[in-house]
Amino acid sequence: MGTRPKELAELLASVHAQTTGAARTVVVANGCALPDLPPWVETVQLAENLGVTGGRNAALEHLSDMDLVLDLDDDGLLVSDDVFAAITALYAADPQLGIVGFRIADETGVTQRRHVPRLRAGDPMRGGLVTGFLGGAHVLSVKMLEEVGHWPDAFFFAHEETDMAWRAIDAGWKVLYAPQLLLQHPRTSPARHAFFNQVNARNRVYLARRHLPALLVPVYLGVWVAMTLARTRSLAGLRAWFGGFAEGWRTSCGRRKPMRWHTVLRLARLGRPPVI
C-alpha cells in the first residue's frame, strides 16, 4: 500500500541475497504509487486497493508461468539466506504438497500463539501437516491453484487463508507448517485495522456458506457467536461484529461448494475440526 518503503527495500534485499535465486520477483502496488525499486523487480500497478485477496490474485495472474509462488508481507524480512533452497527441497520431496506456511517471529524471536496454525500452540517449532497457514509468508503450488482456484476476492481481508486451505485439503493437497522457514515480522494485532471486527464476522459467515456441509453451518457460526460475546469487551466492537455477521448473509460470498465429510474427518484428525 506504499506506506513502508524502508521495510520493502530491506525485504527485497533479503530476497536478492538468497543462495537459490527467485526466478521472478514481483511487487504489487495496491492502489498506490511505488517507490524506486531495483531493476530486477517487476511491478503490477492496481488502480485501486483490492485488498489482500485482490492484490494476491493480481500477482498470481502475473506469475501464472511459475511452478511455485512465495507471498511475503512488505514489512517482513527473510533472516536466513537458504529459505528458497529449503522450499525447493520440500516440494521436490512431496508432489502432493500444496501449501507451505512459514513461522513468523518478531524482532526478539518470539512467535505469538495466534501465529502458530494449529491447536496446542505452545511450541512454535513443532511443524507438520496443519489445516491453515499464515498470510504473511507462504508458498503455493501453481498446480494446486489450477485445481482449487485463486483467492476469494469477496473476502478483501481476513480468513482468506482458511478458505484456501480448506479448498486445498478437500482436493487432496497437503498444507505444511514448516517452522524452519522464518519470516521476521513486527509484532502487531489484526485489530489495528478499523474494519477488523466487521470483516472478521462477515468472512466467518462467508466461510460457512462457501465450504461447510449444511449441518455444520449453525454449529460453526454458533461457536463463533458465543466466543465473540465472551471475548469482546467493547460495545462498538460487538456492534461492528454483528453488523459484519449480517452482511455475510445478505451479500454474495462466491460459489458454494461444501467440503466432503471425508475432509471434515481429515481436518479433525489434524487437530482442528471445522467448527472451531
**Pick from 60, 245, 251, 28: which is nearest to 154 by CA?**
251
Q: What rounded mean pLDDT belongs to the chain?
A: 93
Copy the grid coordinates of residue 124: 512454535
Strands 41-46 and 128-129: unpaired
Q: Find residue 45's DSSP bridge partners.
A: 29
Query: Which residues does residue 71 pair with via DSSP β-bridges, in sequence order?
Result: 138
Of the chain, the percentage scoring pLDDT greater than 70 comes to: 97
pLDDT reading at 121 higher than 80: no
Contacts for 39-42 with beta carbons within 8 Å, 24 or more apart? 40/16, 41/12
**Most distant CA atoms of the chain, gap in Å:** 53
How confident is the model over 149-155, as a mean pLDDT? Answer: 96
Per-residue pLDDT at 158 exceeds 70: yes
Is the torsion defined by CA of 164, 165, 167, 168 positive or negative?
positive
The pLDDT of residue 276: 82
> Per-residue pLDDT averaged across 211-215, rounded?
98
Radius of gyration of the chain (CA): 18
pLDDT at position 108 over 90: no
Q: What is the mean pLDDT of residues 100-113?
A: 89
Instruction: Kindly report the length of the chain.
Output: 276
**Does residue 206 register a pLDDT over 90?**
yes
For the stretch 234-276, pLDDT in tens is: 899 899 999 999 999 999 999 999 999 999 999 999 989 999 8
How sure is the predictor about 123, in pLDDT bands with cuts at 50, 70 and 90?
confident
The answer to whether residue 115 scores a pLDDT higher than 60 is yes
pLDDT interval class at 110 (50, 70, 90): confident
Q: What is the dihedral of CA 93, 94, 97, 100, to 10 degrees?
A: -20
Report the C-alpha gap between 276 and 268 in whole angstroms: 10
pLDDT band of 190, cuts 50, 70, 90:
low
Q: Please compute the mean of the pLDDT values over residues 192-205 and round it to a whole number.
A: 84
Q: Which pLDDT band, with edges at 50, 70 and 90, does 189 fall under?
A: low
pLDDT value of position 274? 94
Span 14-72, pLDDT tens digits: 999 999 999 999 999 999 998 899 999 999 999 999 999 999 999 999 999 999 999 99
pTM across the whole model: 0.93
The residue whose grid cell reads 466487521 is 198
